[in-house]
Amino acid sequence: MHIEWKADYNTGVVIVDTQHQQLVALLNQHFDKESSVDLYEMFQMLGDFNAYAMRHFDTESHLIQEAGLTESSLWLLHSGEHDYYRQRIDEFRLLAQGQPDTTASRLMSFLRYWWLDHIQVNDKKLMQSLLTIKQTQA
Ligand SMILES: [Fe+2]
């Protein structure tokens, strides 16, 4: 279940790539414990992982502001994805209370799929636009 970091995941924006690698490392630590995770650990994991994820979203938002792209459709779509992620995590918190035995593995599958897709597709596209704008401004 581990995610192996590939050079292809890099967006070319160092701070974003560093944070993505850290997020993947955190996820991998949790994948190791997945089968033995209990409800308390799951909430702990959600808290720790998402604190870092929210910081990462803030970093992206800050980069977009700096580039003057806050109103661009690309960013509106992208920040919508971040909103969707927050909603899903809230849903998992609720689910964990009612179905603690099955929620951990569903949560881990969601995190694995969402982050891999977000990094490889959406963040890459966003950072490419950012880099293009920086090049034209230079
Ligand atoms: Fe993003």
pLDDT tens digits for range 20-65:
999 999 989 887 776 666 777 777 778 888 999 999 999 999 999 9
Number of domains in the chain: 1
In-domain check, residue 117: yes
User: 74 C-alpha to center of ligand 1: Å?
Assistant: 11
- Across the chain, mean pLDDT equals 89
User: 49 C-alpha to center of ligand 1: Å?
Assistant: 15
Per residue in 8-36, is it b (16+ CB within 10 Å) or e — as a string?
A: ebbbebeebbebbeebbebbeebeeeeee
Residues whose beta carbons lie less than 5 angstroms from ion ligand 1: 60, 123
User: 28 C-alpha to center of ligand 1: Å?
Assistant: 19
In-domain check, residue 6: no
**CA dist 18 → 3, 56, 60 (Å):** 15, 10, 12
Mean pLDDT of 88-96: 89
**Using CA atoms, how far apart are residues 45 and 110, in angstroms rounded to an integer?**
14
In-domain check, residue 86: yes
* CATH number of the domain where residue 75 is located: 1.20.120.50
Domain of 132? 12-137
Q: Is 100 helix (H, G, I), strand (E, B) or coil?
A: helix
User: 124 C-alpha to center of ligand 1: Å?
Assistant: 9
The tokens for 26 are 């955190």
